[in-house]
Amino acid sequence: MRVGVLTGGGDCPGLNAVIRAVVRKGVHTHDFEFVGYRDGWKGPLEGLTMPLGIEQCRGILPRGGTILGSSRTNPFKLDDGVEQIRANLEKDGVEALVAIGGEDTLGVATKLADLGVSVVGVPKTIDNDLSGTDFTFGFDTAVNIATEAIDRLHTTAESHHRVLVVEVMGRHAGWIALHSGIAGGASMVLIPEQPFDIEEVCAHVETRFKSQYAPIVVVSEGAVPREAEGGSDVTLLNSELDAFGHVRLGGIGDRLAGEIERRTGKEARAVVLGHIQRGGTPTAFDRWLATRFGLQAADAVADGEFGTMMALRGTDIVRLPLSEGTAELKLVSEREYAEAQVFFG
Ligand code: F6P
């Protein structure tokens, strides 16, 4: 069987580990041949392919990014997008697709599977916001990068008696902020799920200055002040929407630092970690998870279990209907946030 592989959406550490595992298992165990589709759904849509075999996968396990390239192309934005994909798959002799992506890429896979395209999905995102799986790969790497940054910021904040505000990614989910904030011993963690009170943030900043420590406030890019509850005041880099209708978040760190400085009189600076969280080598955990997802995806294709998504449940990799895996966003609960709140101030 000829199998196409694509990676879509924002890149994330571990994508190459999945590709490698799908190809190794597919070639060795199932006698598959592979076609690499470039740049997410743009590949099958426009017929952009590259050779993909064991040779192309040598040495890629520890490499960040994706050898296939990625994009946020949405074929359902075009009237004949599905027909174009079908025509290109037929032209390339591809009978099945492995789509590696987050909510948007797997959302397209779900719709295509409903229309009879043979596709299996592998969940990825540094945001860890897919409800069907305990963890997505890429998340652990992003958390480790953010934690190291927080560790480093502690010492310089203390030397200069400054407040340092660290803005992390995560879109509408606060997982990266929560995990790195707890691991890095932040004075406060602000997440999109729980609108924050600026007075309370400033009170915690003042308390922290009473000790030898300087405050580190970790803020998720989608966090909003309480007076703007409902998300209307979410801070945007610009108001343009991508092909999946998403705005670009960012800027809350600077805004918050300015407000803290104005209200407390303490110098406050913002550090935006941005794409550093997505770049570079995956952690051992992400390599392990991505590899196991890849092995299972190759088996799912061999078993003809199309319309499924690989998921981590405990320590097992299971297959779920794609529609179930992407049905809702997994958000930080009040209970989980309360664990971090013990350390605020
Ligand atoms: O979904 C992953 C993610 O990194 C989000 O955390 C972030 O909001 C978004 O992608 C940024 O996307 P882009 O790189 O396209 O601006």
Please compute the mean of the pLDDT values over residues 206-216 and round it to a whole number: 90
**Residue bearing the CA closest to ligand 1, atom 10:** 10
For residue 231, pLDDT over 50 is answered with: no
340 pLDDT tier (thresholds 50, 70, 90): very high
pLDDT of 247 reads 81
Known catalytic residue at 316 = no
Distance (angstroms) between ligand 1 centre and the Cα of 178 equals 17
Confirm if 308 and 324 have CB atoms less than 8 A apart.
no
**Residue bearing the CA closest to ligand 1, atom 8:** 171
Q: What is the mean pLDDT of the chain?
A: 95
pLDDT of 236 reads 67
pLDDT cut 90: percent of the chain above it: 90
pLDDT of 240 reads 73
What is the position in ligand 1's atom list of the atom closest to the CA of 277? Answer: 4
289 pLDDT tier (thresholds 50, 70, 90): very high
For residue 45, pLDDT over 80 is answered with: yes
pLDDT per position as a tens digit, 293-321: 999 999 999 999 999 999 999 999 999 99
pLDDT of 228 reads 61
The single residue of 39, 104, 127, 286 carrying the catalytic annotation is 127
Please compute the mean of the pLDDT values over residues 180-203 and round it to a whole number: 97
pLDDT per position as a tens digit, 117-149: 999 999 999 999 999 999 999 999 999 999 999
239 pLDDT tier (thresholds 50, 70, 90): low
Domains and CATH numbers, the chain: 2-137+282-325 (3.40.50.450), 141-279 (3.40.50.460)
* Mutate-to-test residue for ligand 1 from 143, 176, 248, highest number of ligand atoms within 8 A of CB: 248
Distance (angstroms) between ligand 1 centre and the Cα of 169 equals 7
Mapping DSSP onto H, E and C, the string for 258-278 reads HHHHHHHCCCEEEEECHHHHC
212 pLDDT tier (thresholds 50, 70, 90): confident
pLDDT of 123 reads 96
